[in-house]
Amino acid sequence: MLLTVSHGGNIYRAGEEFGIPEDKIIDFSANINPLGISKRVIKDIVHNLKYLPDYPDPDAKELRLEIARHHTISAESIICGNGSTELIYLIVRALKPKNVLIPAPTFSEYERACKSYGTRIIHYGLRRENNFDINTDEFIGVMNGDKNSELTIPNSPLHTDMVFLCNPNNPTGRLIQKKDVMRIAHAAKALKSYLVVDEAFIDFVSDASVIQEVEKNPYLIVIRSMTKFYALAGLRLGYGIFPLKIIDLIKQYKEPWTVNTLAQKAGVAVLNDTAYKKQTLKLIKKEKQFLEKKFKQLGINFVDSYANFYLLNLSNAESMYKELKKKGILVRLCSDFKELDKTYIRVAVKSRKYNILLMKELSQWLKA
């Protein structure tokens, strides 16, 4: 049976529930670039509408070549997908892991994909007192099935054969430093256990990426999303970098034509739009400084984030979430994340206009 999970970004359900037009909803629950879609992408989409009667390239060759050039990696190691979520399910379906280690809280689709195929899940609980950071030595001990590890896991197997890491992590925004990811990757290689590093938000801290390390490690897989940083959530686009020894196996399990023509063209366009990337990083940095200052002024507990969102801890988070929703303002209630409860919400970093509005609503609510 599949897990029942919820995600941010469902403006359609919220609009229907409260009778608010979808374009009037202010969505802080989805961590999408507040700049919106690149003008270069819009231009390319319009130009390529003429190709819609034809099937898309099933190999996404042009996009893979551009990704390879962008990261200085082999195009042969790349598989493009309908968002990174498709690739998460594809990896589990193709590699059939028996025991998977997943930190908690983290992105719910790792566990959902594994549960779909009867995989056993071992959770590594991230602790609030440690700022939700991974203890690398302890984590590697759990990977090895170390019974002397400080982390007690009932009926732990000898070791895991797959590990998922979200870096920076969703919903905490915390970053595992590159040297620590590499330590975990080396441990995975020694165990012959696949390490899947989800770098959906790594564009905000690109120097921490391990994407170029895949070719050196036959057990390292990196997946990337182009929906967050490049605001392409509606087109659905992601890609994975796989060790060459398993690339043919992964392809055997992949459905054809999952990446449509416009998504492929948009991916090529944004990777070449350096001005858009610089503008995004500048805006996010400025707005994060604004939000953090306001959080501190209001006495709101937040987790220091390396991404374009914040995890907030509020005693009345659930009722606040409901009231904001009635006003057409969506935030992400985090009670369905393991290790979190109804006192946590996640908010995206948006434009100054909307960030001011959110802070005004939070201020009024806290004073009530």
Q: What is the pLDDT of residues 231-262, one digit of tens each?
A: 999 999 999 999 999 999 999 999 999 999 99
pLDDT over 50 at 150, yes or no: no
* Rounded alpha-carbon distances, angstroms, from residue 339 to 3, 125, 132, 195: 16, 7, 10, 22
Instruction: Evaluate whether 182 touches 154 at the Cβ level (below 8 Å).
Output: no
pTM over 0.85: yes
Q: Give the tens place of pLDDT for each residue, 95-126.
A: 999 999 999 999 999 999 999 888 999 999 99
- C-alpha 106/C-alpha 163 separation (Å) is 12
CB of 188 within 8 A of CB of 163? Answer: yes
| Higher-pLDDT residue of 5, 222 | 222
- Taking alpha carbons only, the member of 33, 36, 28, 32 closest to residue 358 is 28
Phi-psi region of 65 (alpha: psi -120 to 50; beta: other; left: phi over 0): alpha
Question: What is the pLDDT averaged over residues 301-330?
Answer: 94
Tokens representing 315 are: 């005693």
Tokens found for residue 312: 């907030």
Closest by Cα among 83, 87, 22 to 235: 83
Separation of alpha carbons 301 and 315, rounded Å: 10
Tell how strand 194-198 and strand 220-225 pair up. Answer: parallel
- Residue 343 contacts residue 334 (beta carbons within 8 Å): no
Total length of the chain: 368
Whether residue 368 has pLDDT greater than 70: no
Secondary structure letter of residue 254 according to DSSP: P
Which of 15-24, 141-150, 351-360 is the most confident on average?
351-360
Residue ranges and CATH numbers for the domains of the chain are 11-38+274-367 (3.90.1150.10), 53-271 (3.40.640.10)
**Could you tell me if residue 303 is left (phi over 0), alpha (psi between -120 and 50 degrees) or otherwise beta?**
beta
Find residue 310's DSSP bridge partners: 347
Query: Residues 176-214: pLDDT tens digits?
Result: 999 999 999 999 999 999 999 999 999 999 999 999 999
Q: What is the mean pLDDT of residues 298-303?
A: 97
**What pLDDT score does 18 carry?**
60
Tokens read off for 204 = 């905000």
pLDDT at 327 over 60: yes
Q: Which residue has the tokens 């409860």?
A: 341
Please report the pLDDT score of residue 228 as a whole number. 94
Q: What is the pLDDT of residue 116?
A: 87
Average pLDDT, the chain: 92
34-69 tens-digit pLDDT: 999 999 999 999 999 999 999 999 999 999 999 999
Packing angle of the helix pair 178-191, 136-143 (nearest 10 deg)? 20
The pLDDT tens digits for 160-174 are 999 999 999 999 999
Structural tokens at position 261: 């023509």
Distance from C-alpha of 257 to C-alpha of 324, rounded to nearest angstrom: 39
User: How far is residue 346's CA from residue 172's CA, in Å, rounded to a whole number?
Assistant: 8
Q: How far apart are CA 3 and CA 5, in angstroms?
A: 6
Residue percentage of the chain with pLDDT more than 90: 86
